């Protein structure tokens, strides 16, 4: 392309932006994190707005369900790298730009602070909380401005983050993901979601990586009543062995829908106020033939079900489907090794639908259609082209201001569903950093915990990684490194030693009261000092009372913003707070806090993370959090 | 209704969760016409082709130019000089093989002036960069034929969107936070009887803490009424007093979640169920009493609803019971009570519909549709958009002036855009299009702005010269980013119109890209 052509092409930009700014744009280097719905729009807009040096990263591959909005992809691209195809498609239309595509995980050492330093601006087009927090921390550490964005259905949001000048992504609290007590899941379900979570656990138990903490069932245990120590009290289900001899699917069905249920139904204490679950025998169910119009209907029986997936299966259909799933998944398991549950995999989804519905039927809970189960199991957030287009456009408006050094004029913008009064977009100025933010202000935090009861592993996994979003924490007390994550630099002995240390309770590993613990993360280039405060009052993890709100109170972090303040008293910025919009984004993770074991007398203390798929999936948006839409709405009015 | 196949269900999964299969079927039946395949037009269509409208047609006689390559994603270098409608159409079709696309190589203005009936079979027409006169011709034709018109333009950093539909009915307006329809303060007989049948004193503590709060409130409202002359708490102090009374009835307020829920929902529970004003307006609409065999199903249903409300003084019960603390059996019982009553109301309404149908000699209405209407009776919405001609012949001067008097208002852009239209009509080019004319164009445009303001009887000093100069500087340029953003906003409103879900904006929207602000008014 010659100069004249290029000038003619860019005429509009030069006229409206001015030559100087347009050159700044052309010379800038920018990073786009995420090549999903927003990422596609963003890449297109950047290229057609004069940006010439762009890198884009995404670890995901293209899925059929992306094609209703991620317009740089076609059917023939399914299974390929999003970042790479996005680059190819854009270059086809605009060969004169430099785009580098990375098919990889932004949270790994390949993309540490050195990588980020190369850019004048980073733009997040991400879906999940942990990656967003990670990018936030790295951008703060290398002082590169970050534009943060998200969409959910018709809602969307864009904001700008700059070290020392604006709020960072973690200045405002985010709600924690929904949690269910293990006893509810395992023994006492009362809603469809409980059975769905159970079915996902069962999937992991049967076909996933062996995981001791997955307590959903013990396949060979046929004890249904009594204490094994006192043989005279014991009742066993001898039928289990017979079924096992018949074959795999007979065995599994009998175990989970007969033996386990039989055992539960014998716990008279639990069924004082409601009818006990009824064990199902496979043979009698199959002989029953088609008992369609079975017992239950959906709670929300309003819509006219026309789609196959929206039809409610009868109990008999669920059983047939469940057995077929067992066959198919077992075969795949034997061929490919352990399976990871994926909402977009047909048979994984059929399995969870059928298994959860059979269990629901046993407990007298309404069954759900596959479509609805998918929503709940996959935590699916609606996503459409229109919202992404608006958000993609808004990001570039902010990007131009950042590149032009006009940070003061940058805004936070929210897109609403319904134009109320005069607003479809709500724009507000950027807030100052929260001086109490442990991420962007140098700040110590305190951890109140029972150091006699909490293990090092719980500290690392549940507190440091899950709650404080460290990727690979290194724990130091004084000059001694106590704990180092990641396996790359460690010898087998060191890993072995680490495993032993993980089992210790904190107090036995120098992490006792009033110790100042330094936690560092090299990938995030982030560190924080934590003062450990022992408290006898803090419960053991998972031993909280049955009341929902107390489930997660086994540790407390002081000095970190906590989600609690009522909406009305919040300032504008936090009502429509980006982090609030982006709460339940680790979509495949449903955390289970184990409370009481089925035998009410013993307390157990495992935490199971039903993490179906740890990979960041395609979602380009935070969740349609009802709270958020409420908050947005309230503000809008 | 067209059946989406398995693969499409999967491809459309994320949007089906937003507008459901009925919304999708409506989209798939729609046929949309775009006048001018500019960046703004193409980006709007892109967001409609992706979710799967039925068909689109692009009318455009321009050739792909270098400037299109600079701002339009749906043209390619090798298509330079080719007809733009054809090129954009082909590239858009690649996005979704289920969508039919066609192109008409003709000047849209010529088409409007010579063959206006060309537009009669579309559901919706998107007009981009159509001068005022032919636009008004088109608008009038579409309005008379009950076809939606969407005007969208991007001009420098400014975006303009205008919707116009003679009558738009929304059954599923899907409010963000719909109130539960529980009738606590005025329970129907079956509900009240059930509440009365529960003897709280006889329950053990487990049972006591698992009586649904709805029932608790009904019981204690009755208890209150019996000592307060049959009246519910009305004033604030009375309500506070009731709250204390209610809490005092709990055996252990800290642990009885059902009592906690009662207190949380107390304010809502005091509200009697009323007919919302939007719905009331529909019921009062003359169309409900002027039914003929040609009346829409919507109006037949509205008439039936009107007679229902006249008799029962309430809308039909929704029937849904939100999750609340209760024992399973009790909850199911409660659900059944509400559901039975809702079904009773539905058959009452259906009966009224049938008698109206037989009176006016109209065919039956599908039961599903009646049911949907009944369930959404509280959220019905009707909009009659002002036409573009009305906007000009009966301008909303007060609204415009009121806005112009505000600091940093966006109405100035509306005025200047109107003036730019007139400029184009007069000089057959946009102001500032030629660099050498910028200075003279500024004063020409300023004159037109002043003239327009005087016509509207608005003081001319309300539009500063800066805005006129800014627009002249834009020289009609279309920035991709603004085009894309306006395409997003426009297609979103079009989807609301086509699916008849959610309430679309009414009727004019201005976006200012300089500070990412927008405003909408009924003009």
Mind listing the pLDDT tens digit for each residue in B41-63?
999 999 999 999 999 999 999 99
A301 is in an annotated binding site: no
- Which CATH number applies to A3-153+382-409: 3.40.1000.10, 2.60.260.20, 3.40.50.720, 3.40.50.20? 3.40.50.720
Of B8, B186, B18, the residue nearest B98 (C-alpha): B8
Cβ-defined contact of A386 to B43 (cutoff 8 Å): no
Pairwise pLDDT comparison (A565 vs A405), residue with the higher score: A405
Q: How confident is the model at residue A556 (pLDDT cuts 50, 70, 90)?
A: confident
Q: Which of A40, A139, A183, A325 is an active site residue?
A: A183
Minimal Cβ distance to A12: which of B9, B70, B206: B70
Contacts of A386 in chain B (CB under 8 A): 47, 488-489, 491-492, 495
Phi, psi of A608 (to 5 degrees): -115, 130
Give the pLDDT score at A297: 40
Whether the domain at A182-290+308-378 and the domain at A445-543+552-558 fall into the same CATH topology: no
**Predicted TM-score of the model (pTM):** 0.81
- Percent of chain B clearing pLDDT 70 (strictly above): 99
Instruction: Please say whether the beta carbons of A59 and A615 come within 8 A.
Output: yes
Average pLDDT over residues A425-444: 84
Contacts of A153 in chain B (CB under 8 A): 18
Q: How confident is the model at residue A440 (pLDDT cuts 50, 70, 90)?
A: confident
Pairwise pLDDT comparison (A586 vs A288), residue with the higher score: A288
Average pLDDT over residues A188-208: 89
Pairwise pLDDT comparison (A533 vs A29), residue with the higher score: A29
Structure tokens belonging to residue B106: 């003709």
Average pLDDT over residues B189-203: 94
- Percent of chain A clearing pLDDT 70 (strictly above): 78
Domains of chain B: 6-167+479-521 (3.40.50.720), 189-270 (no CATH), 277-383 (no CATH), 388-474 (no CATH)
Rounded Cα distance, A395 and A41, in Å = 10
Question: In chain B, which among 477-516 make CB contacts under 8 A with chain A?
Answer: 477-482, 484-489, 491-492, 495, 502-503, 505-506, 509, 511, 513, 515-516
Distances (CA, A) of A38 to A76, A209, B53, B177, B496: 21, 33, 21, 27, 21
Mutate to test the interface with A, among B21, B23, B488, B520 (most CBs of A within 10 A): B488
pLDDT at A402 over 90: yes
Rounded Cα distance, A260 and B458, in Å = 79
Identify any residues that bridge with B518 across adjacent strands, giving them in sequence order: B511
A393 is in an annotated binding site: no
Mind listing the pLDDT tens digit for each residue in A244-259?
899 999 999 999 999 9
Minimal Cβ distance to A397: which of B1, B320, B516: B516
Minimal Cβ distance to B73: which of A8, A44, A630: A44
Contacts of B515 in chain A (CB under 8 A): 409, 411, 427
How far off is chain B from A439, nearest CA to CA, in Å? 29
Cβ-defined contact of A389 to B16 (cutoff 8 Å): no
Give the pLDDT score at A213: 63
Cβ-defined contact of A423 to B17 (cutoff 8 Å): no
A36 is in an annotated binding site: yes
Which strand (E) or helix (H) includes residue A426?
A: strand A423-429
A127 is in an annotated binding site: yes
Instruction: Please say whether the beta carbons of B165 and B383 come within 8 A.
Output: yes
Give the pLDDT score at A11: 78
Q: Is A391 exposed, middle or buried (0-12, 13-18, 19+ CB in 10 A)?
A: buried
- Residue A478: left (phi > 0), alpha (psi -120 to 50), or beta? left
Of A542, A618, A631, A635, the residue nearest A66 (C-alpha): A618
Instruction: Please say whether the beta carbons of B182 and B269 come within 8 A.
Output: yes
Cβ-defined contact of B518 to A423 (cutoff 8 Å): yes
Mind listing the pLDDT tens digit for each residue in B32-41?
999 999 999 9
Average pLDDT over residues B60-73: 93
Q: How confident is the model at residue B5 (pLDDT cuts 50, 70, 90)?
A: low
Give the pLDDT score at A545: 36
Number of A to B CB contacts under 8 A, please give it.
Answer: 225
Give the pLDDT score at A93: 81
B34 touches chain A (CB under 8 A): no
Q: How confident is the model at residue A446 (pLDDT cuts 50, 70, 90)?
A: confident
Q: Which residue of A has its CA nearest to B501?
A: A418
3-class secondary structure, A223: strand
∠ Cα A520 A524 A526 (to 5°): 40
- Is A445-543+552-558 CATH 3.20.20.140? no
Q: What is the rounded (10 degree) CA torsion for A175, A181, A184, A186?
A: 120
In the block, tokens 């009868």 appear at A314
Give the pLDDT score at A382: 80
Give the pLDDT score at B198: 93
Query: Where exactly are the structural domains of chain A?
Result: 3-153+382-409, 182-290+308-378, 445-543+552-558
Average pLDDT over residues A98-110: 92
Mind listing the pLDDT tens digit for each residue in A35-51?
999 999 999 999 999 99
Q: Is B509 exposed, middle or buried (0-12, 13-18, 19+ CB in 10 A)?
A: buried
A128 is in an annotated binding site: yes
Give the pLDDT score at A310: 77
B67 touches chain A (CB under 8 A): yes
Structure tokens belonging to residue B145: 């034929």
Instruction: Please say whether the beta carbons of B261 and B324 come within 8 A.
Output: yes
Mutate to test the interface with B, among A8, A12, A406, A629 (most CBs of B within 10 A): A12
Average pLDDT over residues B403-426: 94
Mind listing the pLDDT tens digit for each residue in B463-486?
999 999 988 988 888 999 999 999
A168 is in an annotated binding site: yes
- Which numeric CATH code is attached to A182-290+308-378? 1.10.10.520
Average pLDDT over residues A284-299: 54
Mutate to test the interface with B, among A390, A423, A632 (most CBs of B within 10 A): A390
Radius of gyration of chain A (CA): 27
| Highest mean predicted confidence (pLDDT) among A621-635, B2-16, B78-92 | B78-92
Give the pLDDT score at B176: 72
Cβ-defined contact of A68 to B69 (cutoff 8 Å): no
Q: In Å, how far from its chain's centre is CA A235?
A: 41
pLDDT at A566 over 80: no
Q: How confident is the model at residue A622 (pLDDT cuts 50, 70, 90)?
A: very low
Question: In chain B, which among 47-66 make CB contacts under 8 A with chain A?
Answer: 47, 50-52, 66
pLDDT at A571 over 60: no
B73 touches chain A (CB under 8 A): yes
Give the pLDDT score at A223: 85
pLDDT at B101 over 90: yes
pLDDT at A457 over 80: yes
Distances (CA, A) of A42 to A14, A39, A210, A339: 21, 5, 41, 34
Pairwise pLDDT comparison (A549 vs A464), residue with the higher score: A464
How far off is chain B from A385, nearest CA to CA, in Å? 5
Mind listing the pLDDT tens digit for each residue in A368-394?
998 889 888 887 778 888 999 999 999
Q: In Å, how far from its chain's centre is CA B243?
A: 39
Write down the H helix ranges in A476-608.
492-503, 572-575, 578-581
Q: How confident is the model at residue A3 (pLDDT cuts 50, 70, 90)?
A: low
In whole numbers, what is the pLDDT of chain A averaged over residues? 78
In the block, tokens 């679309």 appear at B504
Which residues have C-beta within 8 Å of that of residue A299, sequence separation ≥ 6? A192, A366, B335
Cβ-defined contact of B489 to A390 (cutoff 8 Å): yes
Cβ-defined contact of A274 to B329 (cutoff 8 Å): yes
Question: In chain B, which among 302-331 make CB contacts under 8 A with chain A?
Answer: 320, 323, 327-329
Minimal Cβ distance to A397: which of B1, B502, B513: B513
In the block, tokens 């990938």 appear at A523
Which strand (E) or helix (H) includes residue A531?
A: strand A526-534
Lowest mean pLDDT among A465-474, B148-157, B448-457: A465-474
pLDDT at A513 over 50: yes
Q: How confident is the model at residue B284 (pLDDT cuts 50, 70, 90)?
A: very high
- A195 catalytic? Reply is no
pLDDT at A585 over 60: no
């Amino acid at each position: 392309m010659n100069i004249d052509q290029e000038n003619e092409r860019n005429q509009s930009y030069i006229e409206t932006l001015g030559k100087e700014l347009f050159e700044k744009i052309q010379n800038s280097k920018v990073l786009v994190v995420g090549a999903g719905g927003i990422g596609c729009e963003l890449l297109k807009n950047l290229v057609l707005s004069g940006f010439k040096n762009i890198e884009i990263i995404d670890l995901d591959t293209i899925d059929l369900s992306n094609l209703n909005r991620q317009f740089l992809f076609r059917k023939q691209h399914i299974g390929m790298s999003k970042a790479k195809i996005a680059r190819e498609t854009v270059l086809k239309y605009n060969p004169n730009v430099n785009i580098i595509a990375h098919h990889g995980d932004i949270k790994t050492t390949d993309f540490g602070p050195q990588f980020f330093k190369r850019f004048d601006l980073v733009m997040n087009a991400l879906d999940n909380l942990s990656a967003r927090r990670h990018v936030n921390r790295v951008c703060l550490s290398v002082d590169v401005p970050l534009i943060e964005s998200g969409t959910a259905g018709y809602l969307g949001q864009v904001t700008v983050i700059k070290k020392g000048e604006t709020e960072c992504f973690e200045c405002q609290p985010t709600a924690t993901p929904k949690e269910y007590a293990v006893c509810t899941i395992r023994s006492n379900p009362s809603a469809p979601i409980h059975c769905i979570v159970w079915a996902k656990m069962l999937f992991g138990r049967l076909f996933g990586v062996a995981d001791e903490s997955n307590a959903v069932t013990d396949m060979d245990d046929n004890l249904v009543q009594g204490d094994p120590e006192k043989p005279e009290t014991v009742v066993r289900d001898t039928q289990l062995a017979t079924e096992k001899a018949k074959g795999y699917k007979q065995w599994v069905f009998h175990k989970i829908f007969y033996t386990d249920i039989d055992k539960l139904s014998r716990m008279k204490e639990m069924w004082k106020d409601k009818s006990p679950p009824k064990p199902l025998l496979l043979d009698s169910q199959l002989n029953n033939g088609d008992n369609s119009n079975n017992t239950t209907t959906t709670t929300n029986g309003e819509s006219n079900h026309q789609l196959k997936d929206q039809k409610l299966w009868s109990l008999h259909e669920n059983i047939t489907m469940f057995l077929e799933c067992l066959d198919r998944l077992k075969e795949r398991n034997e061929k490919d090794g352990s399976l990871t549950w994926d909402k977009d995999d047909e048979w994984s989804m059929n399995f969870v639908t059928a298994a959860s519905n059979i269990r629901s039927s046993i407990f007298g809970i309404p069954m759900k259609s596959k479509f609805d189960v998918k929503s709940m199991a996959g935590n699916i957030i609606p996503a459409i082209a229109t919202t992404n287009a608006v958000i993609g456009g808004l990001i570039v408006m902010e990007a131009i201001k950042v590149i032009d050094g006009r940070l003061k004029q940058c805004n936070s913008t929210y897109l609403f569903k319904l134009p109320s009064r005069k607003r479809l977009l709500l724009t507000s100025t950027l807030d100052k950093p929260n001086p109490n933010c442990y991420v962007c202000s140098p700040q110590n935090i305190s951890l109140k915990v029972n150091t006699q009861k909490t293990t090092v592993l719980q500290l690392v996994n549940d507190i440091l990684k899950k709650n404080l979003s460290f990727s690979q924490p290194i724990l130091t007390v004084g000059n001694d490194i106590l704990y180092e994550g990641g396996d790359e630099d460690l010898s087998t002995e060191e890993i072995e030693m680490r495993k032993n240390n993980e089992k210790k309770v904190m107090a036995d590993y120098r992490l006792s009261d009033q110790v100042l613990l330094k936690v560092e993360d090299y990938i995030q280039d982030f560190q924080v000092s934590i003062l450990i405060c022992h408290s006898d009052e803090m419960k053991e993890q998972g031993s909280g009372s049955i009341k929902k709100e107390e489930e997660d109170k086994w540790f407390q972090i002081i000095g970190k913003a906590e989600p609690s303040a009522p909406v009305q008293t919040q300032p504008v910025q936090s009502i429509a707070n980006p982090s609030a919009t982006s709460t339940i984004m680790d979509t495949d993770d449903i955390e289970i806090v184990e409370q009481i074991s089925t035998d009410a007398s013993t307390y157990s203390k495992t935490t199971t993370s039903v993490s179906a798929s740890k990979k960041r999936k395609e979602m380009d948006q935070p969740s349609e959090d009802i709270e958020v839409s409420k908050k947005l709405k309230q503000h809008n009015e | 209704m067209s059946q989406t196949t398995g693969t499409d269900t999967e491809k459309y999964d994320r949007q089906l969760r937003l507008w459901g299969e009925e919304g999708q079927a409506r989209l798939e039946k729609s046929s949309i016409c775009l006048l001018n395949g500019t960046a703004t037009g193409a980006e709007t269509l892109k967001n409609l082709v992706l979710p799967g409208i039925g068909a689109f047609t692009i009318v455009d006689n321009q050739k792909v130019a270098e400037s299109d390559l600079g701002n339009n994603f749906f043209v390619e270098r090798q298509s330079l000089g080719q007809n733009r409608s054809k090129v954009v159409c082909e590239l858009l079709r690649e996005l979704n093989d289920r969508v039919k696309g066609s192109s008409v190589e003709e000047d849209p203005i010529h088409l409007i002036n010579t063959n206006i009936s060309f537009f009669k079979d579309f559901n919706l027409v998107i007009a981009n960069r159509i001068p005022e006169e032919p636009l008004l011709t088109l608008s009038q034709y579409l309005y008379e034929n009950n076809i939606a018109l969407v005007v969208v333009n991007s001009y420098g950093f400014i975006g303009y969107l205008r919707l116009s539909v003679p009558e738009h009915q929304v059954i599923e307006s899907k409010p963000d936070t719909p109130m539960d329809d529980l009738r606590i303060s005025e329970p129907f007989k079956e509900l009240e009887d059930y509440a009365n049948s529960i003897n709280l004193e006889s329950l053990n503590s487990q049972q006591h803490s698992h009586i649904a709060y709805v029932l608790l409130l009904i019981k204690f409202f009755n208890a209150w009424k019996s000592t307060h002359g049959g009246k519910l708490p009305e004033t604030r102090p009375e309500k506070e007093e009731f709250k204390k009374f209610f809490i005092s009835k709990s055996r252990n307020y800290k642990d009885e979640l059902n009592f906690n829920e009662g207190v949380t929902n107390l304010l809502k529970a005091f509200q009697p169920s009323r007919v919302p004003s939007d719905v009331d307006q529909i019921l009062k609409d003359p169309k409900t009493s002027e039914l003929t065999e040609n009346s829409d199903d919507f109006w037949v249903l509205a008439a039936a609803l009107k007679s229902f409300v006249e008799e029962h003084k309430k809308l039909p019960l929704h029937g849904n019971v939100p999750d609340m603390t209760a024992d399973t059996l009790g909850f199911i019982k409660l659900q059944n009570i509400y559901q039975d009553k809702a079904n009773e109301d539905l058959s009452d309404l259906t009966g009224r519909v049938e008698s109206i149908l037989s009176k006016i000699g109209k065919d039956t209405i599908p039961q599903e549709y009646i049911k949907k209407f009944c369930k959404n009776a509280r959220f019905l919405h009707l909009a009659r958009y002002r036409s573009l001609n009305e906007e000009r012949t009966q301008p909303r001067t007060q609204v415009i002036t009121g806005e112009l008097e505000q600091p940093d208002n966006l109405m100035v852009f509306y005025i200047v855009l109107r003036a730019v239209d007139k400029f184009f009509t007069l000089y057959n080019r946009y102001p500032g299009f030629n660099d050498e004319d910028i200075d003279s164009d500024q004063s020409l445009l300023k004159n037109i702005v002043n003239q327009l303001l005087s016509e509207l009887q608005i003081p001319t000093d309300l539009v500063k010269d800066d805005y006129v100069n800014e627009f002249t500087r834009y020289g009609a340029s279309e920035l991709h980013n603004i085009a894309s953003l306006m395409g997003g906003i426009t297609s979103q409103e079009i989807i609301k119109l086509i699916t008849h879900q959610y309430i679309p904006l009414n009727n004019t929207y201005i976006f200012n890209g300089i500070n990412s602000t927008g405003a909408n008014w009924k003009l």
